[in-house]
Amino acid sequence: MNVSERDHSAEAEVGRAALVGEPPVADFDRFYREQYRAVVGLAYALTGSRTAAEELAQDAFTTTFRKWSTVSGYDNPEGWVRQVVANASRSWGRRKGAELRALTKFGGRREPLVELAEPANDFWAAVRSLPTRQAQVVALHYLEDRPVDEIAAILDLGPGTVKKHLHRGRAALARTLDEPIETDSVDPAERSKP
Amino acid sequence: MSVEEQARIARAAIEDAVDPLEAGVFVPRRRTAPVAALLLVAVALAGGLLAVTTLVGDGERDDALEAADPTSAADASAAAESDEVEDEALADPETAEDYWVLDPAPQGLDAIVLTDLALEAASMLFDVYGRGDLDNPFAEGAVIYGTATGLAIEADASGEPIDVDGTTIYASTNMLEWYVGDTAHVLLTDVLDQDTLIEAARSLLTEGELRIPGLERLAADVSPQGFGSSITRKVVIYGSPDDNAPFGVWLEPGIGGVQADLLMAAMAGFDGASLDRGFLDEETPATAAGAWEAFERSTSVVEGVGVVGITTNDEFVVIVGQIAGEEVILRFAPTGRSVTDGDIDRAIELFATARPATADEVDAFRAAGTALLEDMATDDEPAAAATGPYDGITDEGVAWQIIEGEDGVACVTVVDGPTTAEVCDFRDVVAEDGTTWQVSEGQVTVLVLPYRGERERGVRALHTDGTTGAVIPYERGDELLWYSVQREPVAAIEFLDPDDQSFQVAVPATGPADLWVLLAEPAPSP
């Protein structure tokens, strides 16, 4: 008996008692395929490592899947998975920093992860140097072109808070990147949700 | 070039980078029942060296992670219900063919992603090794997981597992794996190219030991660092000591998922007695002590101290390692505040002078490790209790939000159960010296203090009985800090300044039932 047969027979007993309704897996598959690249991209922007980004994105989708029966009922499941990956990116950075400090303490060395060419790498490095919330807001805005209200929904923030973070983030980026702050221009974040 | 223009370039770069990525098909695995401890053998092949730990099984790990759900009872119930639905869905034969990963599932995996190239690699392995008995992983019923990452990132997506003469082959983005019956697993990850991977598998399958060309060099490259790992750069082989399957693990010390493995290993304790077989090199005694001794030689050694792993979250710094062949585990947990950089330094210093752990300490560590893993497993999830647009939510479920409008109006809303406190407009509440404002509403008092850059380094409560609370440090970049002094008599909140410019902010004599201190950026000038 091959494994498939064995498992199926074993599962059959369980399956008879299992729910009959359509599982949410198919919906999740579609969701996963539609959102995967964008979520990796967000994690990439926030971590600076595509390898880490892929892992964090997969972890985020795994987390989402485990709660899919609940998350799929949300108004904005794609926002939920982005919040997961944004939080995970923050945690990744925190742990990475701690471990790097420990490595340094022991005399180890590790090459920095630089995978994007300049000036893109400089820009995202500047974003990552922002306070966490600012970095998340800026990344969602510039990477996914999301307006304030969508960012607020994803990060569970008030629109005013998002505006504050975006404004300060842009100003900080301008300083870091040695660009003048365009105070007289219309902030694209102010535009309404499409 | 303006920020907007640079952002457009940066965005295009990210899009280009992720464009080749294929999502493939998300394949959840079935939850497995708790199993006996699996052996995890960490092998640093530089010099043919090896370290041994014991790893708990998937089921236990799953249980630990799931028990960590920090949500409320209602949410936990909902999550449990969700898991039941998931299990049932996965157990449904109608879906099992498409969404089934055989039992036992690969350790540490919740899901895999299918890609074509990985299937191709797996197929090649199948072709190379054919089929056979337990010595051959491609025995009837075996399952193969393939890998794409490292072999070719541009692998095309593939939807379905393939069946080759009763062998179902799956692929994932970062591992190659196959099963021998129900017990043995082999994972070969993207540290290897395809040819090397196949050669390694051949040596394992035909000669009973793993010989991976180039691995020694790789180990030598990383061994001076001694700990930390990227999960994408490791080779893992493990199995049950109760069968004849080969087992063992080679880990590149680095950063990432290996940390959890190390913690799990430490939690489970060390069991050298069962390590009497496996693939051990000629120079390494097949015992745990011998393995540790070997590992000590091979990894980061500072005054005789070998560090296996270090990890931290907001609450713990945990270091796993050994001294003179003895297990040493150091858990540092500051009281009443979050872990800081200084704590990590101190933990390392303490580790360098650590003694072998006692049995009680190991037990304590296991408990702490469980908590840490639980926290690590859950702290990335959005707080389920946060149903509104809040800036944050504390562990106690108190949500807070600061809103600052264009005209300088600011609001703080604290929601603690049925109690809500809200104050708007900094201009009305900032004292003349600009240091503080507060509001009480019901049983909640909010004390908001302006964040003042690098000057302040810590905040603590001064209790009415003369004792002081733990110092909560904060650093530049911390925009907000909450500090709960729940139902304790607090006379004042003291800010500690390294330049001896500490100051105190008195708390009303009546004392709040709940006091939350929020450090915010300076309020705009009136």
pLDDT at B140: 30
Residue of A82 and B301 predicted with greater confidence: A82
Q: Are B173 and B109 in contact (CB under 8 A)?
A: no
A68 CA: distance to closest CA in chain B (Å): 8
Per-residue H/E/C for A169-190: HHHHHHHHCCCCCCCCCCCHHH
- What CA–CA distance (Å, rounded) separates B161 from B170? 5
pLDDT at B344: 60
Please write the tens of the pLDDT for every residue from A133-182.
788 899 999 998 888 888 988 887 777 778 777 888 888 888 888 765 44
Query: Looking at beta carbons, which residues of chain A come within 8 Å of B25?
Result: 29
Look up residue B136 and give its amino acid: N
Q: What is the ipTM of this complex?
A: 0.72
Query: Looking at beta carbons, which residues of chain B come within 8 Å of A68?
Result: 82, 86
User: Rounded to 10 degrees, what is the CA torsion of B421, B424, B426, B432?
Assistant: -60
Q: What is the pLDDT along chain B (526 residues), one digit of tens a residue?
A: 788 888 888 999 888 888 877 655 444 332 222 211 111 111 111 111 111 111 122 222 222 222 222 222 233 233 333 333 333 333 332 322 222 222 222 222 222 222 333 333 333 333 333 322 223 333 233 333 332 222 221 122 222 343 433 434 333 333 333 333 222 233 333 334 444 444 544 444 444 344 444 333 322 222 222 222 222 222 233 222 233 222 223 333 222 223 333 323 322 222 222 222 222 233 333 333 333 333 333 333 233 344 445 555 555 555 555 544 555 555 555 545 566 666 665 565 555 554 544 555 445 544 544 454 454 444 444 433 333 344 444 433 444 444 443 333 344 444 444 444 444 433 333 333 343 444 443 334 445 554 444 444 566 777 777 777 666 655 443 434 444 444 456 677 676 655 555 666 665 554 444 444 554 444 333 3
- Continuous H helices in B302-390: 341-352, 359-378
pLDDT at B397: 42
Query: Looking at beta carbons, which residues of chain A come within 8 Å of B376?
Result: 91
Interface test with A, best of B26, B170, B340 (most A CBs within 10 A): B26
- What CA–CA distance (Å, rounded) separates B235 from A191? 50
Q: Cβ separation of A156 and B310 shorter than 8 Å? A: no
- Continuous H helices in B115-226: 116-129, 194-207, 215-222
Of chain A residues 101-160, which have a CB less than 8 A from chain B?
Answer: 101-103, 105-110, 115-117, 119-124, 127, 131, 133, 142-143, 145, 152, 156-160
Choose among A102, A127, A160: nearest Cβ to B404: A160
Q: Cβ separation of B312 and A95 shorter than 8 Å? A: yes
Query: Looking at beta carbons, which residues of chain A come within 8 Å of B172?
Result: none
Minimum Cα–Cα distance from A17: chain B residue: B88
Q: Reply yes or no on whether the pLDDT at A30 is more than 70.
A: yes
Query: Looking at beta carbons, which residues of chain B come within 8 Å of A1?
Result: 141
Of chain B residues 12-31, which have a CB less than 8 A from chain A?
Answer: 12-15, 17-19, 21, 23, 25-26, 28
Q: Cβ separation of B85 and A69 shorter than 8 Å? A: yes
Q: Cβ separation of B21 and A121 shorter than 8 Å? A: no
Q: Cβ separation of A65 and B102 shorter than 8 Å? A: no
Q: Is residue B336 left, alpha or beta, with left meaning phi > 0 and alpha meaning psi from -120 to 50?
A: left
Residue of B13 and A117 predicted with greater confidence: B13
Q: Cβ separation of B21 and A99 shorter than 8 Å? A: no
- What CA–CA distance (Å, rounded) separates B459 from B519? 10
Bridge partners of B163?
B168
Q: Cβ separation of B96 and A44 shorter than 8 Å? A: no
- What CA–CA distance (Å, rounded) separates B205 from B462? 66
B65 CA: distance to closest CA in chain A (Å): 11
pLDDT at A138: 92
pTM of the model: 0.38
Q: Cβ separation of B381 and A12 shorter than 8 Å? A: no
